[in-house]
Amino acid sequence: LGTLFLKMISHLAITPREVTISLVILVIVFVFLRVLRSKGRKQVSPPGPLSFPIIGNLLQLGEHPYLTFMEMRRQYGDIFLLRLGTVPVVVVNGVEMVKQVLLKDGEYFAGRPNMHTFSFLAEGKSLTFSVNYGESWKLHKKIASNALRTFSKAEAKSSTCSCLLEEHVTEEASELVKVFVELTSKNGSFNPRSAITCAVANVVCALCFGKRYDHGDEEFLRIVKTNDDLLKASSAANPADFIPCFRYLPLRIINAPREFYQALNRFIALQVQDHLTTYDKDHIRDITDALINTCHNKYAATKTATLNDSEIISTVSDLFGAGFETVSTCLYWSFLYLIRYPDIQAKIQEEIGRNIGLKSPRFEDRKILPYTEAFINEIFRHTSFLPFTIPHCTTADTTLNGYFIPKKICVFINMYQVNHDETIWDTPNLFRPERFLNKKRELNKTLVEKVMIFGMGIRKCLGEDVARNETFIFITTVLQQLKLRKCPGAELDLTPMYGLTMKPKPYQLQAELHSTGSL
């Protein structure tokens, strides 16, 4: 083209100066046309703080990142972009933007980022941590939801199932009352965490495997500890998630989660294998049997793709791990708040005595104990012990609030901010269960729906109903029979310890039988 241009101007009386001016004009016109063409499709990225090379904005997060993000929101708005290490992350705040991401545009934000921690949690095609979102994942979720629903609804009494969530929770709640009394008698006061964890873990074992363990059983305690170690290791900020080159370093913090996960998975695999051997389609004992039944019969008959044995193991592992972490953490917080606010404890006990007396609490009693329900929802909201959803990832290029969000970018949903948004909640930092009651002292369901703890949309936690029912039975059973007190002179700290699931700092309590209570 250059040669052709020179030949053309050689036949014309054009000076070098004119050639230069012409070229400059051509360049200006070319740039102008490019600007006009791109004007209508300009891609604007979300605003955000400046970042450092390699470490990004990691040093700016502080001890409580969800609070840091609330501060950044004041400067950058509901949607902003930062870098954690070398990984770009879009942070979403504000109830409307959260609904946009999880509900209205849920398909575009339904993926999981390719983080190091997720890579081994998803090895067995985990439903919760699976990076791949598609038809296979949807079928997987449907099968798991149906199996869980079979054993978590009160109306399951009419089915052929012999394992019912309500019966197991009621049994374990009564056992927890006995343990609390024994620990108080023996030690004067005690940290309730271990007893809570064992009680809730037993519910999960009964639900998944059809059996419970004695609180002192060595195998049971070993598995509970392994799961606890896994959660601690996964909750710690893993540098390999945000600085990929760290994945190849032989550091304990990087590889410990995989070791704990594999140990827990071996235990669950043995339980599932035992179920596969003893499976009887006419006697469905638990969730594991229900998954086997669904996969080996219903879908096989229709020749529809379904779960293989390894996926069944991963599904049970998902339910096992999540099934007692959320509930046990909620109860640990609840008992702390009950001894911190004895007047609230007295109100719940008065409501229980007035409406159900000494009758064993059941799921259906949630309808007639609105203040107790309000307390549980205020625990969810005020503690926000799950400050973020599990990280999401975009499945395609999209836009959010006018900003361009590229495919495969990591997305954090700040649930803590929604639960403390002053435009939704009056004095959000104040713990006040009454906020969930209307003038008739009935539960305000519209406000309950605004509490963010289980997520929403496509990736919403499968076990919300189970967690709510289970938490209700444990709290009402304990308060029906016991009065909980803090240790004389003890200072109770409500500041959480940050992690994937935030827990309270260790505390001690005392449990005393009501004069009208009975074991």
- What's the mean pLDDT in 117-122? 66
3-state DSSP assignment of residue 388: strand
Tens digits of residue pLDDT in 187-196 = 999 999 999 9
List strand residue ranges (DSSP E) for 176-221, in order: none
User: How does residue 121 score in pLDDT terms, banded at 50, 70 and 90?
Assistant: low
**Per-range mean pLDDT, top range of 15-24, 47-56, 312-321, 475-484:** 475-484
For Cα atoms 116, 324, 328, give the angle at the middle one, nearest 5 degrees.
Answer: 110
**Do 334 and 457 lie in a common domain?**
yes
In a domain, 393, yes or no: no
- Given the structure tokens 């969810």, which residue do they identify? 380
Phi, psi (rounded to 5 degrees) for 502:
-85, 130
Distance, in Å, from the CA atom of 254 to the CA atom of 209, rounded to the nearest integer, reads: 31
Q: What is the pTM of this model?
A: 0.86
pLDDT (mean) for 262-272: 86
Q: Which residue has the higher pLDDT, 20 or 516?
A: 20
Looking only at the bridges linking them, the beta strands covering 503-504 and 496-497 are antiparallel
**Has residue 84 been placed in a domain?**
no
Does the pLDDT at position 31 exceed 50? Answer: yes
Q: Are residues 253 and 377 in the same domain?
A: yes
| Residues in the chain, total | 519
Same domain, 19 and 149: no
Has residue 309 got a pLDDT over 60?
A: yes
Q: Which residues contact 499 (CB under 8 A, 6 or more apart)?
A: 231, 232, 235, 236
Q: Percentage of the chain surpassing pLDDT 70? A: 83
Are 410 and 46 in contact, with CB atoms under 8 Å apart? no
* Positive/negative CA dihedral, 368, 369, 371, 375: negative
Model pLDDT, residue 146: 82
Clarify whether residues 28 and 165 are in a common domain. Answer: no
Position 129 confidence tier, pLDDT thresholds 50, 70, 90: confident
What are the DSSP calls for 26-88, one per residue? HHHHHHHHHHHHHHTT---PPP----BTTTBTGGGS-S-HHHHHHHHHHHH-SEEEEEETTEE
The one-letter amino acid at 128:
T
Domain containing 124 equals 120-383+433-513
**Do 135 and 13 fall within a single domain?**
no
| Rounded distance between C-alpha atoms, residue 205 and residue 28, angstroms | 73
Average pLDDT over residues 214-240: 77
Question: What is the tens place of the pLDDT at every residue in 442-466?
Answer: 999 999 999 999 999 999 888 898 9
Q: What is the pLDDT of residue 305?
A: 53
Contact indicator for 316, 453 with CB cutoff of 8 Å = no
Q: Is 504 left (phi over 0), alpha (psi -120 to 50) or beta?
A: beta
Q: Looking at the domain assignment, is residue 50 inside a domain? A: no
Listed in sequence order, the residues at least 6 apart from 233 whose beta carbon sits closer than 8 Å to its beta carbon are: 253, 256, 257, 260
Q: Is the pLDDT of residue 477 over 70?
A: yes
Tell which phi-psi region holds residue 305, choosing left (phi > 0), alpha (psi between -120 and 50) or beta: beta
Question: Binning pLDDT at 50, 70 and 90, where does residue 23 land?
Answer: low
**Is residue 18 predicted with pLDDT exceeding 90?**
no
Report how far apart, in Å, the C-alpha atoms of 250 and of each of 34, 235, 346 are: 50, 19, 53
- 75 domain residue, yes or no: no
The CATH number of residue 343's host domain is: 1.10.630.10
Is the CB of residue 494 less than 8 Å from the CB of residue 341? no
The tokens for 353 are 């005595």
Average of pLDDT values for 470-487? 97
Q: Which residues of 118-137 are buried (b: 16+ CB within 10 A; e: fewer)?
A: bebbbebbbbbbbbebeeeb
461 is in an annotated binding site: yes
Specify whether 244 is located in the same domain as 374: yes
User: What's the number of domains the chain is made of?
Assistant: 2
52 within some domain: no
- Alpha-carbon distance of 257 to 502, in angstroms, equals 18
**CA 370 → CA 352, 437, 508, distances in Å?**
10, 8, 28
Mean pLDDT over the full length of the chain: 84
Distance CA 388, CA 412 (A): 7
- Residue 210 and residue 355 share a domain: yes
In the predicted structure, residue 355 carries a pLDDT above the cut 90: yes
Regarding whether 13 and 131 lie in a shared domain, the answer is: no
Q: Give the model's pLDDT for residue 182.
A: 96
344 and 462 inside one domain = yes
Cα-Cα-Cα-Cα torsion 428, 434, 435, 439, nearest 10 degrees, comes to: -160
Strand partners, 80: 91
**Which of 507, 78, 67, 157 has the alpha carbon at shortest distance from 364?**
157
Kindly state whether residues 24 and 130 are assigned to the same domain. Answer: no
CA–CA separation, 50 and 162 (whole Å): 58
67 domain-assigned: no
Over residues 242-249, the mean pLDDT reads 77
Q: Is the pLDDT of residue 259 over 60?
A: yes
Whether residue 190 contacts residue 183, with contact meaning beta carbons closer than 8 Å, is answered with: yes
Closest to 207 (Cα-Cα) out of 323, 106, 364: 323
In a domain, 417, yes or no: no
List all residues 6 or more positions away from 206 whose beta carbon is below 8 Å from its beta carbon. 163, 168, 172, 212, 286
In a domain, 100, yes or no: no
